Amino acid sequence: MSFAVSVIIGLAGLFALAAALRAAARAGLSGRARSIANDIPLTAAFGLLVIAIYAAVAIAAPALAPFAEREIVGNQFEAWSAEHLLGTDRIGRDMLSRLIYGARNTVGIAFATTALAFVVGSILGLWAALTGGWLDQVLSRIVDAFMSIPALIFSLLLLTIFGTSVLTLILVIAAVDATRVFRLARAVAQGIVVMDYIEAAKLRGEGAWFLIRREILPNALAPLVAEFGLRFCFVFLTISSLSFLGLGIKPPTADWGSMVRDNATLITFGDITPLLPAGCIALLTVAVNFVVDWQLYRASGLKE
């Protein structure tokens, strides 16, 4: 129970810090940055703060972690102590260190996967919407067919075939996710392509690359950025789930999903330590979702 209280106090502290930073930004900044600071809700400020902290931890992991990622430094399942703040895991590695390295591994892999899916999916989607005709039809029908298999199931099928190394994991999840990005990017671009300014540019004789770069992309950016956040959450949760199932990132690499799986037996004894990595996953996803929600609200609000 005291742990639950300290979690609540910690979250409240983060919220207070976010509020303080926002107030400082409102006072200190000027121009556009200031108007954003004025407009940002507390939840989104909290989200940005959490994302910044995760990024900092991921970058500085070796400096922050008291022990090495894969080193066995104690007995199995040691309790929380001064030396091992969060105890040790199933084979005696330091939990806190692995948690810190997990920020680097789990988040890094999820980010790389999302970025890959995004580049491929959105370029194809914009291109299909702009070109139209048979190219659009073929690409869209292929994507429709692939999307009629549930994402996790399709990923499992592909992982069975290609094996479960980190690289295949990234490629498989990115491929499956790119279909979703394609569909969104195409829908967004289709809304833009019917605008008269695109027709005007076509009449002027502009090429496809200019149209995508100067006319479509600037207008598609806001929804695509919001979608990037959502897709990241989805990929992050999928990879964590796969790791939890033993099919994703595998030990000894420190990863939050597999850490839960590895130490799950403790839960039946009422120990919450194995849930900490899951909590780390949840906190980051909540943070990203808060920011995305704000962005979506802004995008819809500006339209009115």
User: Which parts of this chain interact with other proteins (CB under 8 A)?
Assistant: 43, 144-146, 148-154, 156-163, 195-197, 199-206, 214-215, 218-219, 233, 237, 240-241, 244-247, 257, 260, 264, 267-268, 270, 272, 274-275, 278-279, 281-282, 285-286, 288-290, 293
Which residues does 268 contact at the CB level (< 8 Å), separation at least 6? none
Report which residue type is found at 151. Answer: A
Looking at beta carbons only, is 128 or 247 nearer to other proteins?
Answer: 247
Smallest distance, Å, CB 162 to other proteins?
A: 8
What are the Cα distances from residue 80, in Å, to 74, 83, 86, 95, 273?
A: 12, 8, 5, 9, 9
Smallest distance, Å, CB 145 to other proteins?
A: 5
Looking at beta carbons only, is 108 or 202 nearer to other proteins?
Answer: 202
Smallest distance, Å, CB 212 to other proteins?
A: 13
Asked whether the beta carbons of 125 and 183 are under 8 A apart, the reply is yes
**What phi and psi values does residue 93 have, to the nearest 5 degrees?**
-90, 155
Looking at beta carbons only, is 41 or 62 nearer to other proteins?
Answer: 41
Looking at beta carbons only, is 63 or 204 nearer to other proteins?
Answer: 204
Smallest distance, Å, CB 304 to other proteins?
A: 8
Looking at beta carbons only, is 72 or 154 nearer to other proteins?
Answer: 154
Smallest distance, Å, CB 93 to other proteins?
A: 21
Question: What torsion do the CA atoms of 238, 127, 221, 237 make, to the nearest 10 degrees?
Answer: 0
Asked whether the beta carbons of 197 and 211 are under 8 A apart, the reply is no
How many CB atoms within 10 Å of residue 63?
A: 8
